[in-house]
Amino acid sequence: MDKLLIQRSGPLNGCVRVSGAKNATLPILAGCLLVPDSVRIANVPHLNDVTTTVSLLGRMGAKITIDEHMVVEIDTRNLTSLVAPYELVKTMRASVLVFGPLLARFGCAEVSLPGGCAIGARPLNIHIEGMRALGADVQVEDGYIKASAPNGLVGADITMSTVTVTGTENIMMAAALAKGTTRLFNSACEPEVEDLANFLNQCGAKISGAGTSTITIEGVDVDDLHGTSYSAIPDRIEAGTYLVAGAITRGKVTVRDANPPSMLNILDKLREAGAEISIEGDSITLDMKGKRPKAVDIVTAPYPDFPTDMQAQFMALNTVAEGKGTIVETVFENRFMHANEMMRMGADIKLEANTAVSKGKELLKGAPVMATDLRASASLVLAALVAEGETMVDRIYHIDRGYECIEEKLRQLGASIQRVSG
Phi then psi for 334, rounded to 5 degrees?
Answer: -130, 45
Angle between helices 22-31 and 191-202 (to 10 degrees): 30
Burial of 415 per CB tally in 10 Å (0-12, 13-18, 19+): buried
Distance of alpha carbon 18 from alpha carbon 253, whole angstroms: 12
Beta bridge partners of 139: 146
Distance of alpha carbon 229 from alpha carbon 202, whole angstroms: 9
The Cα-based distances of 74 to 29, 153, 347 in angstroms read: 8, 25, 47
C-beta atoms surrounding 73 within 10 Å: 17
Nearest Cα neighbor of 224 from 201, 243, 196, 205 is 205
Furthest C-alpha separation in the chain: 65
Amino acid at 293: P
Measure the CA dihedral 360/364/369/370, to 10°. 30
Say whether 117 is catalytic: yes
Angle between helices 165-175 and 191-202 (to 10 degrees): 20
Distance of alpha carbon 74 from alpha carbon 35, whole angstroms: 10
Question: In this structure, are strands 83-84 and 108-112 parallel, antiparallel, or unpaired?
Answer: parallel
The Cα-based distances of 229 to 39, 56, 352, 359, 369 in angstroms read: 6, 21, 48, 49, 42
3-state secondary structure of 240: helix
Start-to-end CA span in the chain (Å): 5
The Cα-based distances of 209 to 63, 126, 164, 250, 253 in angstroms read: 32, 20, 16, 41, 35
List 32, 108, 117, 405, catalytic entry: 117
Burial of 68 per CB tally in 10 Å (0-12, 13-18, 19+): exposed
Q: Which residues carry out catalysis? A: 117
